[in-house]
Chain A
Amino acid sequence: MPLSLQEGYHVNSNTPSDEYLIPLQLTWSKGVLEPAGVVYPKPRLEKYQFSPDKPLSVFSGNFELLAKFTVPASAPAGPAAMTGKLRYQACNNTMCLAPKNMDVAIQLDIVK
């Protein structure tokens, strides 16, 4: 899943530096496939005006998430879809935006 963040903004990585920070998290609704984990990119450790001494674990710019699934034996062949949510919380150098849940969907074709 390719993602592109507006210049100047960052989101916390899936493993933020502070317990209070909201991680980037991709979750899937129940569907025809079994979620088998998400591979997140290696986060960057960046310092910001509001955190000049303690680097934060973030994603910025263009990055990709890799979602893994297994196909249950009971899954019917043919077109299918999986839907989920991408939860993120973004900041720039001076302010933060409220956390958001973005709908995500993938279309796939199950071949047996």
Chain B
Amino acid sequence: MSEVSGATAPVIGEEALDRLVGRGLIVVTGKGGVGKSALAAAIARALARRGRRTLTLEVDPRENLHQLFDVPPSGGQAVTVMPGLLLQNLKPQQVVDWVVRRQVKIEMLVKRVLDSPIYHRFVEGAPGLKEMAILGHALRLLRGETPGIDAVDTVVLDAPATGHGIYLLTASRLFADAIGEGPFADMAREVAELTADAERTGLVVVTLAEEMPVQESLELREALEEQFGRSPELLVINGVYPPVPEAATATGGDADELLDLWRHRRQVNERELNRLEQTWSGPRLVLPLEPVDRGAELVARLERGLEERPVNGTEALLP
């Protein structure tokens, strides 16, 4: 790989996790199919190992993070993955219900409201409300305001795919700006303060070294800078084919085809890694394609990559 002048000085050797370890909220996002959930799980494990009491928050109603942790499904409760690491699958409606309960103290009226189809449509239909509720829940977890769960140091959010990911961050601020008063406005304001604070909130973007996901990551970055005045803390380039060793020897037939495919896929990766090196001014971490596609074994390998691989620098191009 030839030397390419990057947009920033490389931070060779600086561990990716150092950038994240002090923060309260870590939002992990990326295009569908790039390994976002597995990476969120790996980050959460690594932070828990560093002594941070961590909760992984999943908002996809079809639970799958528990499979990556090899624990039973959360079903809305916080389940222990290992000492210092929890997993919770959150239905945003739960949070909105909680606000209702706190405001309306009369049980009969609470039930009337919560059972009302109008209320459900409101929660479903009101733009921005669910997104705000997700982050509001994260905030309560950090403060130890969630019944049955002791305060955590870090919430790792397995956020919706990119387009919705940026919206997740902007919704509460827009909500706070647009809405002046009331309990939701208060929650939105607090959430907006949290997400705007680079000391407290970190954003991790996950991509593959392929054209479409890289393009989407660049667009996400641009939108973040424009709307938030800040950039992601870390870009993880996942699933990169290893370079083909120069000593590789083709012996004809299938071996030729194997090498040919390998070289081409690696070329696609290198092209996109070069593009990122020139356009992405900020920490990038390259993780190799692993011969395992799910479960705790995948998470363990990603975690090792997070711990061991250098950030930036041209050697990052060589897994």
**Chains A and B are bound partners:** no
B-side residues, CB < 8 A to A, are none
Residues of A participating in the B interface, judged by any CB pair closer than 8 Å: none
